[in-house]
Structure 1
Amino acid sequence: MIPVPPSQQPPVRSIADTPWWKRWWRRLPPSRQDRFATLGPLLAVLLFLSAIVVAIAYLRYEELEREREAVTRDVEYAQQRLRLRLLERQEQLMRLARDIGDKAIGPTEFQFQAESLVSQFPELLAISWVDNRRNVIATYASPSAPTRMLRLPGDTLAPDETDGSFDLARDLRQPIYSRPLGDDPRSASLMLQVPLTEQGRFAGTVMGEYVVDGLLRFGIPPEVMARYAVALVDDRQRVLAGNLQSTDAVLPFLPWSTQPQEHEVPVSPIGNSLVLKAQAYRTSLDTVGSGFFWVIGALSALTVWMLLGTWRHTRRRVQAQQALVAETNFRRAMENSMLTGMRALDMQGRITYVNPAFCSMTGWTEAELVGRTAPFPYWPEQDQDLLAARLEDELTGRSMPGGFEVRVRRRDGSIFDARMYVSPLIDPRGHQTGWMTSMTDITEPKRIREELSASYERFTTVLESLDSAVSVAPLGSDEMLFANRLYRQWFGPRGQGHRHLVELCGSQPAPAPDDGDAVDAFAGMPTDALTDAGPENAEVFVEELDRWLEVRTRYLTWVDGRLAQMAIASDITPRRRAEEQAAHQAERAQTASRLITMGEMASSVAHELNQPLTAISNYCNGMISRVKDQRINQDELLAALDKTARQAQRAGQVIQRIRAFVKKSEPNPMPSDVAQMVSNAIELADIELRRQQVRLTPYVAARLPRLVVDPILIEQVLINLLKNAGEAIQHAARPPGQRFIELRVGPRRLAEQDVVEFSVRDSGKGVPADMIERIYEAFYSTKSEGMGIGLKLCRSIVESHHGRMQVENIYNGEEVAGCCFSFWIPVHAKLRIEGPSTGAQAASLSDTERAR
């Protein structure tokens, strides 16, 4: 070797030059070193996770601060909008008060202007002119105002009715708002007292009454309502309008925090008695922050798990060995406790193993059976040849996969029936070492099967004598499991007739395709639920038999466990023919009803048509005269022709609407627009109502769903109810201010289904109490010219659309102030039309009347 110069040799480090922590590490035993080596990465992971939590909490805190500022800004903006709306109404009432003080208007003009304001601004329900003695000079209230706001000229306001606002307005001579009034917070109202002065003296007030819920719905901007849960609360923290989410105290710095932000301000100029409170919606969690937090946590947990996994590896190997011994003992115990007998044969047919269950069945012990060859001691003497042939088939692999039945002799000489299954015995290296046979005692199941067979024979005898066709078939198959005599007489022995009946009923699921790789169409079907389900009834017409059949179907589990369907078909042809004849009679009554209705309205319709026809005649005569005198230019001629065309179009629309109404047609259910049906009915009924000097006020909700109905029938019901309401008001001889009808159409939720409700309210004398129970009876009428079937057929039409109709009187105290007929139609219902007839049985409307 070439010696290395001393200058190039590495310096020799002494023990004193080694760092202290290395010396301490080397002195530790290996087990302790492994433990500390595991704790180091664990500590680093925990520190990293802590840093992530702090960072996410800080970002979350900043986000909450931004949300709080946004809520405060939007609530103050909503307060300003509501304040401006209140000030506008206040200015309008002050102008009205000035006109009264200047004697520019009287009670009649005041009522007209009050009606205009109430109709224009929904939150304003009533306006009253009150003198200095609290006497009501003139007033007007919205039709939707509560009873406590309905006042009449000459009424006197109680001191507690104004909550002191009348006295404050008298003393301060300036507009005063009252505190929220009403026992029910959801129907609370506000009063605004605007003082009246005549020559410097207090002469009373103009009192406006607001509904708090209307202030919220029409005074708060829609964009604020969309972002926040907004409510108006009083000084007692009662929610008067709107709704707020419940807030639970949570830590706002956690990434999964969902605490909403809220802010409240008093409503000016009302004051602290009414507070606007808003709460921000939190429609979703902070997905990014929470997801990032949980991903880091999951990765940290995974790292810890991997570090601990190595630590547990050695201990698991010891536990696996112990588990293997326990598993072997468990399998041995399970094998000894089996009730099925097990027998193993080698390739030469010698018994090599039997379990305790096999010994218990035959009565011989394991020592007596192991090593024996055929004939075995448990073979009956008379069956030895048969059993020897079966054993030969078993040893050569020709045994049946489904097993076979044999008779077995016990040691005491008794015989029992058994079923044996044979399978190859394969060792761990994949080589066959013999045959494994399992044996089950089937003596009792065989006896039960024989009894079931006898019961089936009795059952078949009963069904063969029925006068209804009974058939049972598996789902999606033409195979016939059972068919009685009448079914075979009608459809033959095959299953096409059964499947045709089921398809006509509409209760047959689509069968699975023939492709073996395709998914079974019946996979996952709830067999138990279908078995327990009640029967389904349907009436169908079978062209091959020229018969009407009532078919009842239900699902059942067949004796072999398959899901099957039973169909029972009864001949109802005579009954259907009688129903069709009655339906034709009802259809003719329907057309006659509409003709009678148009006949009663003939004078009003003639007057309605006379106006446009007269206008057309005047326009034409005027144009002829001016053309002859050459005093008309082209623009004036075109304008006159345009007016003439509009009047002709108006007359044509009236005639077309009448033709469509009285035209004889079959019920035609279709997706129909509710607003269009209401408009068509009003167009015809309003002609008669204008003649009777009755004001019709319709209220139709926006965005109503389309109904699957016959629009002509529904329009006929509405026209009948509106015409009856007008006749009731005419008969009651109401003054002009009280001759009104209110038609309301809107959505409702009844009995867990969505419906559209139609209600017609009038101001007549109502229905007498002794007639309410009989007004729907056929041929019951209080009119000398009535047929007495109008309301009966009205209700029939509604019920044919799966709806309901009802009537109730409207009371003002103890006095009857009118009547309300209402009916509703389900959104997803269809018109019931049975049979091939025109479907007039669904209901038709004839004489239109109401028992008053």
Structure 2
Amino acid sequence: MSAFSLHGLRPAALARLRALRHAGRRWRLWGVLLLVVGVMLAVLVWLARNHEIDEVQRVLDRDNADAAQVLRQGLARRLQDLHGLASTSTSAEDWTPAALALLDRHRDWLRLEWRDAALRPLAAIDSPYYPAFLGDDSASHAMPEQEVAETCAAARKLGGAAYADSRFARRAGGVGEEVMELCMVVQQGQRLLGYMLVTYSLGGLLDAMLAPAYTQRQSVAFTQLDGTRLAVHGGARRGARLFVSQHVFDLPGNALVLRMEGGRQTPDVLPNVMTALVTGLSIALVTVLVLLARDFRRRQQAEAELAEALAFRKAMENSLVTGLRARDLQGRITYVNPAFCAMVGFEPDELVGQSVPSPYWPPEHAHEYGQRQAVRLAGDAPPREGMESVFMRKDGTRFPVLIIEAPLISTLGKHSGWMGAVLDLTAQRRAEELSRASQERLQASARLATVGEMASLMSHELNQPLAAISSYATGSLNLLRDDDAPPPGATLADVRTALARIAEQAGRAGKVINSVHDLVRRRASTRQAVAPRALIEAVLPLVQLQARKLGITVRVHCPDTLPRAWCEHTMIEQVLLNLARNGMQAMAEVPGPRVLTLRVGAAPAPHRPQLRFTVADTGEGIGEEVGRQLFTPFFTTKAEGMGLGLSLCRTVIEQHGGALAYAPQAPRGTVFSFTLAIAA
């Protein structure tokens, strides 16, 4: 019986033990919650107390700033009254009553003095509202003459008034106070007439200018920058905490500190504790309700989010124009989106589950694609690297694509396959071909337009070598005639010289014609390594042709040691010619020396060095309004221009991987420059 009872009590004891464990766990959770609430209450009380302390300090700072503004306005009004005294009183008899009236109005003034331009006293009067200062045998109330001279010199330098440093003036009876002198310049136009000296009482300044609202709740004092107290107004207030506010009171020639001290009661703790307690309990109640509601809604929310995510994914897949293809680690297709199916012409059932070779692989590239996929599946290829390829539609047509693949990572962080994005490049390639053909047509049109402009110059330029050839030929015939005796002094060397001049002039004419012929002739756009000097010399005859007509000097700086440029030389020659012609046209109407400079040099680049070609002119320069539209197609400032020259030049340079830019040249003119890659 006892054994049966013991055996029957074991499950009950185990259940009670489990219940006690669960109860202990719940009490621990409630203990943590109570601890969090207690910490929040303490933080709230501390924050509320600090907020009230900061608010008291802000009020004191605001009062201090307002008091400083009132003092500045009062000093400005007194300076105006002093100007009025200087302008209305021209003699000592008129000055004394007016000065006495000002002393009666401004009780913070202790003394007024009127001095001439040499700082000699003309008149002086003391305020009748203050006790007399000690005589000269002790410490006189008057400021030393050296300080007077320095203060008035500072006022004269500032063109108005200047304040001297404060000093302590002793009075009869063993008392004294801090005073401060002001020196104001009196002048008529640029003529110096004299000075007005005012002695301020710092304590009287605070008493006269500050309303009782500033001194009833706190004390106001002037102190030096090092903290030495000079004058105090208002009584010290007692409190559990002392609040201090300091404001630098900057005057011309002197700087003081306006200090306010207020004794305030510290904020009450009990209201803050009650507010924090109610807030903490509310937070605890809301937290418990939120936890309970979250437990009930967790499953429904998860199901709703899953359905929404699936619907969003489906809508996104159907709206994409980019083909998506997923493969597992063995290379089998596990997923394709509608855009990929429309791209290759196969249905999803025909693609999913297919391995190597894929149905959209061209048969002639199947082996190559198989090797590439093996490299990808082995993990040797870098992820997210675009690769161009060719796919085959179901009808057998080929089309170019760009494939970007990234690894598929499961929620457990395991690599489960590859996701590829496939872009159809057919439209892009077609647009590139159309753009390339359009650029070539524009280049050809620009070359023909340039030849048309050069035709009139060629007719004039070719007349000179042809006329020279005719003259040398006639002279040679005269030297070789048989019927008469040769002219005196004629030798075979003269004939040779004439024939050499004929050959030279014929070569000159040939260079001009060949340059125009090369410019018009449409050659294949193939890039090659070209010496920079060869590019310059190819367009130099045409440039010099126009330069001689306009009276422009052409200078070329191109060292022979420069490396070769990797470019299509016909296009670069067209760019050089356009920039040179624009520079010469900019100098056509400019007086003075006109110089066109063609320069080639090395230009540093982040990855590899480049060559910099520079075309500089001494024209009028380019304005800011024109500069903003300089490279805009069909924008031109010339009546006969088409506005395509600089736009085509920039396009050509950018196709070569360089950049075309311009900058002003000192003292006048513009510098156009572009860069080209150096041939490997």
Q: TM-score range by the shorter chain?
A: 0.3 to 0.5
Structure exhibiting the larger radius of gyration computed from Cα positions: 2
